[in-house]
Amino acid sequence: MKNGVFPLSLFQALIDRREKMSIIGLGYVGMPLAVAFAKKINVIGYDNNIDKIKLYKSGQDPTNEVGNEEISNTTVEFTSSEQRLKEAKFHIVSVPTPINLDKTPNLAPIENASKVVGRNLTRGSIVVYESTVYPGVTEDICVNILEAESGLKYGVDFKVGYSPERINPGDKINTLASIVKIVSACDNETLDIISNVYKLIIKAGVFQAKSIKVAEAAKVVENSQRDINIAFMNELAMVFDRMGIDTKEVIEAMNTKWNALGFYPGLVGGHCISVDPYYFIYEAEKLGYHSQIVSAGRKINDGMGRFVAESIVKKLIHTNKKVKDSIVVILGLTFKENTPDTRNSKVIDIIKVLDEYGVRPIVVDPIANIHEVKEQYEIELVDLDKIKDADCLVFAVAHNEFIDKDMKFWSKLFKEDLDNSSKVIIDVKSIMEKSDISNEGFSFWRL
Protein backbone atom coordinates (compact mmCIF):
# COMPACT_ATOMS: atom_id res chain seq x y z
CA MET A 1 0.00 0.00 0.00
CA LYS A 2 2.73 2.45 -0.96
CA ASN A 3 1.83 6.05 -1.77
CA GLY A 4 1.58 6.57 -5.50
CA VAL A 5 0.67 2.94 -6.20
CA PHE A 6 -2.29 2.06 -3.97
CA PRO A 7 -4.86 4.65 -5.08
CA LEU A 8 -4.52 4.27 -8.84
CA SER A 9 -4.54 0.48 -8.71
CA LEU A 10 -7.70 0.50 -6.58
CA PHE A 11 -9.50 2.81 -9.01
CA GLN A 12 -8.65 0.51 -11.90
CA ALA A 13 -9.85 -2.49 -9.90
CA LEU A 14 -13.18 -0.74 -9.26
CA ILE A 15 -13.89 0.11 -12.89
CA ASP A 16 -12.75 -3.39 -13.94
CA ARG A 17 -15.27 -4.70 -11.36
CA ARG A 18 -12.55 -6.68 -9.59
CA GLU A 19 -13.28 -4.69 -6.42
CA LYS A 20 -16.53 -3.36 -4.98
CA MET A 21 -17.80 -0.13 -3.46
CA SER A 22 -20.11 0.02 -0.47
CA ILE A 23 -22.56 2.77 0.44
CA ILE A 24 -23.40 2.88 4.15
CA GLY A 25 -26.75 4.59 4.75
CA LEU A 26 -29.40 4.40 2.01
CA GLY A 27 -31.54 7.45 2.57
CA TYR A 28 -32.18 10.51 0.41
CA VAL A 29 -28.43 10.86 -0.24
CA GLY A 30 -26.99 7.36 -0.09
CA MET A 31 -29.56 5.59 -2.23
CA PRO A 32 -29.21 7.89 -5.30
CA LEU A 33 -25.43 7.58 -4.94
CA ALA A 34 -25.62 3.80 -4.90
CA VAL A 35 -27.90 3.66 -7.95
CA ALA A 36 -25.69 6.07 -9.92
CA PHE A 37 -22.44 4.28 -9.09
CA ALA A 38 -23.96 0.86 -9.83
CA LYS A 39 -24.15 1.85 -13.50
CA LYS A 40 -20.35 2.05 -13.55
CA ILE A 41 -19.03 -0.31 -10.84
CA ASN A 42 -20.17 -3.05 -8.46
CA VAL A 43 -21.98 -1.58 -5.44
CA ILE A 44 -23.10 -3.01 -2.11
CA GLY A 45 -25.83 -0.86 -0.55
CA TYR A 46 -25.97 -1.28 3.22
CA ASP A 47 -28.55 0.03 5.68
CA ASN A 48 -29.41 -1.31 9.14
CA ASN A 49 -33.10 -0.60 8.50
CA ILE A 50 -34.39 -4.00 7.43
CA ASP A 51 -37.76 -2.65 6.28
CA LYS A 52 -36.06 -0.12 4.02
CA ILE A 53 -33.91 -2.82 2.45
CA LYS A 54 -37.02 -4.93 1.80
CA LEU A 55 -38.63 -1.99 -0.01
CA TYR A 56 -35.57 -1.47 -2.20
CA LYS A 57 -35.34 -5.17 -3.01
CA SER A 58 -39.01 -5.16 -4.02
CA GLY A 59 -38.38 -2.27 -6.41
CA GLN A 60 -39.91 0.51 -4.33
CA ASP A 61 -38.34 3.94 -3.78
CA PRO A 62 -39.79 5.48 -0.60
CA THR A 63 -37.68 8.61 -1.12
CA ASN A 64 -39.03 9.38 -4.62
CA GLU A 65 -35.50 10.47 -5.53
CA VAL A 66 -34.86 8.04 -8.39
CA GLY A 67 -38.22 6.29 -8.79
CA ASN A 68 -39.43 2.69 -8.65
CA GLU A 69 -38.28 1.84 -12.17
CA GLU A 70 -34.66 2.77 -11.39
CA ILE A 71 -34.75 0.81 -8.15
CA SER A 72 -36.23 -2.21 -9.90
CA ASN A 73 -33.52 -2.22 -12.56
CA THR A 74 -30.47 -1.28 -10.49
CA THR A 75 -27.67 -3.78 -9.88
CA VAL A 76 -27.05 -2.47 -6.34
CA GLU A 77 -26.73 -5.37 -3.91
CA PHE A 78 -29.03 -4.14 -1.14
CA THR A 79 -28.32 -5.66 2.27
CA SER A 80 -28.77 -5.18 6.00
CA SER A 81 -25.90 -7.57 6.76
CA GLU A 82 -22.83 -5.58 7.75
CA GLN A 83 -20.54 -8.54 7.02
CA ARG A 84 -21.11 -7.88 3.31
CA LEU A 85 -18.97 -4.76 3.71
CA LYS A 86 -15.90 -6.98 3.89
CA GLU A 87 -16.33 -7.51 0.15
CA ALA A 88 -15.73 -3.81 -0.59
CA LYS A 89 -12.53 -1.80 -0.74
CA PHE A 90 -14.06 1.68 -1.28
CA HIS A 91 -16.64 2.75 1.32
CA ILE A 92 -18.87 5.83 1.33
CA VAL A 93 -20.56 6.71 4.62
CA SER A 94 -23.77 8.66 4.09
CA VAL A 95 -25.73 8.75 7.32
CA PRO A 96 -27.62 11.70 8.86
CA THR A 97 -25.97 13.99 11.39
CA PRO A 98 -28.82 15.50 13.43
CA ILE A 99 -28.74 17.70 16.52
CA ASN A 100 -29.73 16.96 20.10
CA LEU A 101 -32.56 18.69 21.94
CA ASP A 102 -30.05 21.24 23.28
CA LYS A 103 -29.01 22.05 19.66
CA THR A 104 -25.59 20.38 20.03
CA PRO A 105 -24.35 17.98 17.33
CA ASN A 106 -25.57 14.40 17.61
CA LEU A 107 -22.67 12.37 16.24
CA ALA A 108 -24.12 9.00 17.26
CA PRO A 109 -25.19 8.01 13.71
CA ILE A 110 -21.79 8.71 12.16
CA GLU A 111 -19.97 7.15 15.12
CA ASN A 112 -22.09 4.00 14.86
CA ALA A 113 -21.57 3.86 11.11
CA SER A 114 -17.81 4.16 11.66
CA LYS A 115 -17.97 1.21 14.07
CA VAL A 116 -19.82 -0.86 11.48
CA VAL A 117 -17.27 0.00 8.78
CA GLY A 118 -14.37 -0.52 11.17
CA ARG A 119 -15.54 -3.99 12.15
CA ASN A 120 -15.54 -4.96 8.49
CA LEU A 121 -12.63 -2.90 7.17
CA THR A 122 -9.95 -4.73 5.21
CA ARG A 123 -6.39 -3.70 4.46
CA GLY A 124 -6.03 -1.50 1.36
CA SER A 125 -9.42 0.24 1.73
CA ILE A 126 -10.54 3.86 1.41
CA VAL A 127 -13.36 5.29 3.53
CA VAL A 128 -15.07 8.49 2.35
CA TYR A 129 -17.49 10.39 4.58
CA GLU A 130 -20.34 12.42 3.09
CA SER A 131 -22.21 13.26 6.31
CA THR A 132 -22.24 16.92 7.34
CA VAL A 133 -19.93 17.54 10.32
CA TYR A 134 -17.95 20.36 11.88
CA PRO A 135 -14.25 20.60 10.89
CA GLY A 136 -12.19 17.88 12.54
CA VAL A 137 -14.79 15.16 13.01
CA THR A 138 -13.51 12.93 10.18
CA GLU A 139 -9.88 12.88 11.28
CA ASP A 140 -10.24 13.36 15.04
CA ILE A 141 -13.24 11.13 15.76
CA CYS A 142 -14.08 8.83 12.84
CA VAL A 143 -10.51 7.75 12.11
CA ASN A 144 -9.96 6.79 15.76
CA ILE A 145 -13.08 4.62 15.68
CA LEU A 146 -12.01 2.95 12.44
CA GLU A 147 -8.59 2.14 13.91
CA ALA A 148 -10.02 0.85 17.19
CA GLU A 149 -12.62 -1.39 15.54
CA SER A 150 -10.43 -2.73 12.73
CA GLY A 151 -7.04 -3.01 14.39
CA LEU A 152 -5.64 -1.40 11.24
CA LYS A 153 -3.34 1.64 11.08
CA TYR A 154 -4.61 4.85 9.46
CA GLY A 155 -2.45 6.08 6.59
CA VAL A 156 -0.80 2.68 6.21
CA ASP A 157 -3.53 0.04 6.08
CA PHE A 158 -6.43 2.30 5.08
CA LYS A 159 -6.99 5.87 3.89
CA VAL A 160 -9.78 8.39 4.48
CA GLY A 161 -11.46 11.15 2.51
CA TYR A 162 -14.36 13.56 2.88
CA SER A 163 -16.83 14.65 0.19
CA PRO A 164 -19.85 16.55 1.54
CA GLU A 165 -23.23 15.59 0.13
CA ARG A 166 -24.93 18.33 -1.87
CA ILE A 167 -28.10 16.58 -3.03
CA ASN A 168 -31.20 18.77 -2.94
CA PRO A 169 -34.10 16.38 -2.15
CA GLY A 170 -37.03 16.68 -4.53
CA ASP A 171 -35.06 18.81 -7.01
CA LYS A 172 -35.27 17.30 -10.50
CA ILE A 173 -33.14 20.05 -12.08
CA ASN A 174 -30.14 20.36 -9.76
CA THR A 175 -29.52 16.63 -9.54
CA LEU A 176 -26.64 14.57 -8.18
CA ALA A 177 -24.78 14.51 -11.49
CA SER A 178 -25.17 18.25 -12.17
CA ILE A 179 -23.77 19.56 -8.87
CA VAL A 180 -20.00 20.03 -8.55
CA LYS A 181 -18.62 17.58 -5.98
CA ILE A 182 -16.19 18.79 -3.35
CA VAL A 183 -13.60 16.10 -2.63
CA SER A 184 -10.76 15.89 -0.13
CA ALA A 185 -8.43 13.23 1.27
CA CYS A 186 -5.67 12.48 3.73
CA ASP A 187 -3.00 12.63 0.99
CA ASN A 188 -2.65 13.53 -2.68
CA GLU A 189 -2.62 9.94 -3.94
CA THR A 190 -5.91 9.17 -2.18
CA LEU A 191 -7.33 12.44 -3.45
CA ASP A 192 -6.65 11.26 -7.01
CA ILE A 193 -8.62 8.07 -6.65
CA ILE A 194 -11.53 9.70 -4.81
CA SER A 195 -11.69 12.35 -7.53
CA ASN A 196 -11.62 9.73 -10.30
CA VAL A 197 -14.30 7.64 -8.59
CA TYR A 198 -16.73 10.57 -8.26
CA LYS A 199 -16.01 11.71 -11.81
CA LEU A 200 -17.61 8.46 -12.92
CA ILE A 201 -21.04 9.86 -12.01
CA ILE A 202 -20.65 13.63 -11.54
CA LYS A 203 -20.97 15.31 -14.92
CA ALA A 204 -20.34 18.75 -13.38
CA GLY A 205 -16.91 17.62 -12.22
CA VAL A 206 -15.13 17.75 -8.88
CA PHE A 207 -13.43 20.43 -6.83
CA GLN A 208 -10.40 19.31 -4.86
CA ALA A 209 -10.34 20.99 -1.45
CA LYS A 210 -6.94 21.63 0.09
CA SER A 211 -7.69 19.51 3.15
CA ILE A 212 -10.40 17.42 4.78
CA LYS A 213 -11.10 20.21 7.29
CA VAL A 214 -11.60 22.70 4.47
CA ALA A 215 -14.14 20.41 2.82
CA GLU A 216 -15.93 19.86 6.13
CA ALA A 217 -16.08 23.62 6.72
CA ALA A 218 -17.31 24.36 3.18
CA LYS A 219 -20.38 22.20 3.68
CA VAL A 220 -21.31 23.79 6.99
CA VAL A 221 -20.74 27.29 5.61
CA GLU A 222 -22.77 26.90 2.41
CA ASN A 223 -25.86 25.86 4.37
CA SER A 224 -25.28 28.46 7.08
CA GLN A 225 -25.08 31.15 4.40
CA ARG A 226 -28.44 30.11 2.99
CA ASP A 227 -29.93 29.95 6.47
CA ILE A 228 -28.80 33.51 7.23
CA ASN A 229 -30.20 34.87 3.96
CA ILE A 230 -33.59 33.26 4.57
CA ALA A 231 -33.54 34.58 8.15
CA PHE A 232 -33.08 38.09 6.78
CA MET A 233 -36.12 37.68 4.54
CA ASN A 234 -38.11 36.22 7.43
CA GLU A 235 -37.26 39.22 9.59
CA LEU A 236 -38.36 41.54 6.78
CA ALA A 237 -41.60 39.57 6.41
CA MET A 238 -42.43 40.01 10.09
CA VAL A 239 -41.76 43.74 9.93
CA PHE A 240 -43.63 44.23 6.65
CA ASP A 241 -46.58 42.36 8.15
CA ARG A 242 -46.80 45.07 10.82
CA MET A 243 -46.48 47.74 8.15
CA GLY A 244 -49.27 46.25 6.06
CA ILE A 245 -46.91 45.68 3.13
CA ASP A 246 -46.97 42.50 1.02
CA THR A 247 -43.49 40.92 1.26
CA LYS A 248 -43.71 39.07 -2.04
CA GLU A 249 -44.51 42.31 -3.86
CA VAL A 250 -41.45 43.91 -2.27
CA ILE A 251 -39.24 41.00 -3.33
CA GLU A 252 -40.58 41.06 -6.90
CA ALA A 253 -39.67 44.73 -7.11
CA MET A 254 -36.25 44.20 -5.53
CA ASN A 255 -35.41 41.27 -7.81
CA THR A 256 -35.46 43.53 -10.88
CA LYS A 257 -31.89 44.51 -9.94
CA TRP A 258 -29.16 42.28 -11.41
CA ASN A 259 -27.47 41.50 -8.09
CA ALA A 260 -30.55 40.66 -6.03
CA LEU A 261 -30.15 37.26 -4.38
CA GLY A 262 -33.69 36.00 -4.90
CA PHE A 263 -34.32 34.60 -1.42
CA TYR A 264 -37.85 34.33 -0.03
CA PRO A 265 -39.17 34.01 3.53
CA GLY A 266 -40.36 30.61 4.72
CA LEU A 267 -40.13 27.73 7.13
CA VAL A 268 -36.57 26.42 7.33
CA GLY A 269 -36.62 22.73 8.22
CA GLY A 270 -35.13 19.49 7.01
CA HIS A 271 -31.87 17.79 7.90
CA CYS A 272 -29.41 20.30 6.39
CA ILE A 273 -30.08 24.04 6.42
CA SER A 274 -31.81 24.04 9.80
CA VAL A 275 -29.20 21.74 11.36
CA ASP A 276 -25.76 22.50 9.89
CA PRO A 277 -25.44 26.01 11.38
CA TYR A 278 -25.59 24.48 14.85
CA TYR A 279 -22.49 22.44 14.01
CA PHE A 280 -20.66 25.69 13.22
CA ILE A 281 -21.99 27.37 16.37
CA TYR A 282 -20.97 24.41 18.53
CA GLU A 283 -17.41 24.25 17.29
CA ALA A 284 -16.99 28.04 17.43
CA GLU A 285 -18.11 28.11 21.08
CA LYS A 286 -15.71 25.27 21.92
CA LEU A 287 -12.97 27.61 20.72
CA GLY A 288 -14.24 30.49 22.83
CA TYR A 289 -16.14 32.43 20.16
CA HIS A 290 -19.85 33.10 20.51
CA SER A 291 -21.42 33.17 17.06
CA GLN A 292 -23.54 36.28 16.52
CA ILE A 293 -24.85 36.33 12.95
CA VAL A 294 -25.31 32.58 12.53
CA SER A 295 -26.97 32.25 15.95
CA ALA A 296 -29.28 35.19 15.26
CA GLY A 297 -30.33 33.67 11.95
CA ARG A 298 -31.15 30.37 13.63
CA LYS A 299 -33.20 32.12 16.32
CA ILE A 300 -35.29 33.94 13.72
CA ASN A 301 -35.88 30.88 11.56
CA ASP A 302 -36.71 28.66 14.52
CA GLY A 303 -39.42 31.14 15.50
CA MET A 304 -41.25 31.29 12.18
CA GLY A 305 -43.63 28.45 12.99
CA ARG A 306 -44.99 30.42 15.93
CA PHE A 307 -45.24 33.59 13.85
CA VAL A 308 -47.31 31.81 11.18
CA ALA A 309 -49.51 30.06 13.75
CA GLU A 310 -50.30 33.29 15.57
CA SER A 311 -51.07 34.97 12.25
CA ILE A 312 -53.60 32.20 11.62
CA VAL A 313 -55.21 32.82 14.99
CA LYS A 314 -55.40 36.56 14.33
CA LYS A 315 -57.13 35.97 10.99
CA LEU A 316 -59.66 33.65 12.64
CA ILE A 317 -60.42 36.31 15.22
CA HIS A 318 -60.70 39.04 12.58
CA THR A 319 -63.32 36.97 10.75
CA ASN A 320 -65.36 36.62 13.98
CA LYS A 321 -64.65 32.93 14.47
CA LYS A 322 -64.32 31.16 17.78
CA VAL A 323 -60.71 30.05 17.51
CA LYS A 324 -61.10 26.86 19.52
CA ASP A 325 -63.99 25.61 17.39
CA SER A 326 -62.47 26.54 14.02
CA ILE A 327 -61.67 23.84 11.47
CA VAL A 328 -58.16 24.58 10.25
CA VAL A 329 -56.70 22.47 7.43
CA ILE A 330 -52.91 22.31 7.09
CA LEU A 331 -51.92 21.52 3.50
CA GLY A 332 -48.46 19.96 3.51
CA LEU A 333 -46.32 18.47 6.27
CA THR A 334 -43.00 17.60 4.64
CA PHE A 335 -40.01 19.89 5.19
CA LYS A 336 -40.11 21.02 1.54
CA GLU A 337 -42.16 20.61 -1.61
CA ASN A 338 -42.39 17.43 -3.69
CA THR A 339 -40.43 15.21 -1.32
CA PRO A 340 -41.84 12.73 1.23
CA ASP A 341 -39.19 13.68 3.81
CA THR A 342 -40.83 14.90 7.05
CA ARG A 343 -37.68 14.97 9.17
CA ASN A 344 -37.41 18.18 11.17
CA SER A 345 -40.39 19.73 9.39
CA LYS A 346 -41.18 23.17 10.77
CA VAL A 347 -44.85 22.74 9.86
CA ILE A 348 -44.95 20.80 13.12
CA ASP A 349 -44.17 24.05 14.95
CA ILE A 350 -47.31 25.61 13.47
CA ILE A 351 -49.38 22.64 14.63
CA LYS A 352 -47.91 22.75 18.14
CA VAL A 353 -48.65 26.45 18.59
CA LEU A 354 -52.18 26.06 17.25
CA ASP A 355 -52.63 23.33 19.84
CA GLU A 356 -51.78 25.90 22.52
CA TYR A 357 -54.83 27.86 21.36
CA GLY A 358 -57.01 24.76 21.45
CA VAL A 359 -57.00 24.25 17.68
CA ARG A 360 -56.48 20.68 16.47
CA PRO A 361 -55.86 21.11 12.75
CA ILE A 362 -56.59 18.55 10.06
CA VAL A 363 -53.38 17.70 8.19
CA VAL A 364 -53.23 16.78 4.49
CA ASP A 365 -50.11 15.65 2.63
CA PRO A 366 -50.44 13.44 -0.46
CA ILE A 367 -46.67 12.82 -0.62
CA ALA A 368 -45.67 12.15 2.99
CA ASN A 369 -45.53 8.56 4.22
CA ILE A 370 -48.66 7.97 6.31
CA HIS A 371 -47.02 5.42 8.60
CA GLU A 372 -43.87 7.51 9.20
CA VAL A 373 -45.97 10.57 10.06
CA LYS A 374 -48.03 8.56 12.51
CA GLU A 375 -44.95 7.05 14.14
CA GLN A 376 -42.87 10.25 14.18
CA TYR A 377 -45.48 12.88 15.04
CA GLU A 378 -48.62 10.94 16.10
CA ILE A 379 -50.57 12.67 13.34
CA GLU A 380 -53.21 10.95 11.23
CA LEU A 381 -53.00 12.31 7.69
CA VAL A 382 -56.33 12.90 5.93
CA ASP A 383 -56.98 12.56 2.19
CA LEU A 384 -57.66 15.83 0.41
CA ASP A 385 -60.92 14.54 -1.06
CA LYS A 386 -62.24 14.01 2.48
CA ILE A 387 -61.88 17.69 3.45
CA LYS A 388 -65.06 19.74 3.91
CA ASP A 389 -66.55 22.45 6.16
CA ALA A 390 -63.22 24.20 6.63
CA ASP A 391 -62.88 27.64 8.21
CA CYS A 392 -59.25 28.09 7.23
CA LEU A 393 -56.88 26.57 4.66
CA VAL A 394 -53.15 26.83 5.37
CA PHE A 395 -50.88 26.23 2.37
CA ALA A 396 -47.76 25.21 4.26
CA VAL A 397 -45.87 23.28 1.55
CA ALA A 398 -45.81 24.01 -2.19
CA HIS A 399 -46.50 20.50 -3.48
CA ASN A 400 -47.36 20.35 -7.18
CA GLU A 401 -50.61 18.64 -6.21
CA PHE A 402 -51.66 21.88 -4.50
CA ILE A 403 -50.31 24.30 -7.10
CA ASP A 404 -52.14 22.54 -9.93
CA LYS A 405 -55.60 23.14 -8.40
CA ASP A 406 -57.60 26.34 -8.95
CA MET A 407 -59.61 28.57 -6.62
CA LYS A 408 -62.85 26.87 -7.61
CA PHE A 409 -61.54 23.62 -6.14
CA TRP A 410 -60.31 25.19 -2.90
CA SER A 411 -63.49 27.21 -2.42
CA LYS A 412 -65.55 24.01 -2.22
CA LEU A 413 -63.64 22.87 0.87
CA PHE A 414 -65.06 25.65 3.06
CA LYS A 415 -68.32 25.62 4.99
CA GLU A 416 -71.19 26.30 2.62
CA ASP A 417 -72.83 28.90 4.85
CA LEU A 418 -69.71 31.06 5.11
CA ASP A 419 -69.47 34.37 3.26
CA ASN A 420 -66.27 34.53 1.24
CA SER A 421 -65.02 37.28 3.56
CA SER A 422 -65.12 34.73 6.39
CA LYS A 423 -63.14 32.09 4.51
CA VAL A 424 -59.52 32.31 5.63
CA ILE A 425 -56.61 31.39 3.37
CA ILE A 426 -53.06 31.38 4.76
CA ASP A 427 -50.37 31.09 2.08
CA VAL A 428 -47.02 30.37 3.73
CA LYS A 429 -45.25 29.63 0.44
CA SER A 430 -46.92 32.32 -1.70
CA ILE A 431 -48.21 29.78 -4.20
CA MET A 432 -51.62 31.40 -4.72
CA GLU A 433 -52.38 34.28 -7.05
CA LYS A 434 -53.27 37.17 -4.78
CA SER A 435 -55.52 38.73 -7.42
CA ASP A 436 -57.60 35.54 -7.71
CA ILE A 437 -58.18 35.42 -3.98
CA SER A 438 -58.92 39.15 -3.75
CA ASN A 439 -61.46 38.93 -6.57
CA GLU A 440 -63.29 36.22 -4.65
CA GLY A 441 -63.23 38.33 -1.49
CA PHE A 442 -61.52 35.78 0.75
CA SER A 443 -59.71 36.74 3.94
CA PHE A 444 -56.09 36.27 2.88
CA TRP A 445 -52.67 36.35 4.53
CA ARG A 446 -49.31 35.29 3.17
CA LEU A 447 -45.80 35.26 4.50
**In angstroms, rounded to a whole number, what is the distance separating the alpha carbons of residues 391 and 329?**
8
**In angstroms, rounded to a whole number, what is the distance separating the alpha carbons of residues 399 and 175?**
18
Residue 206 Cα to chain centre, angstroms: 22
Q: Where on the phi/psi map is residue 230: left (φ > 0), alpha (ψ -120 to 50), or beta?
A: alpha
Cα of first residue to Cα of last residue in the chain, in angstroms, is 58
Nearest Cα residue to 32 out of 127, 160, 169, 161: 169
- The one-letter amino acid code at 364 reads V
Active-site option among 142, 186, 272, 392: 272
Q: Which residues contact 9 (CB under 8 A, 6 or more apart)?
A: none
On whether the CB atoms of residues 447 and 415 are closer than 8 A, the answer is: no
Active site residue 186: no
Supply the residues annotated as catalytic. Answer: 272
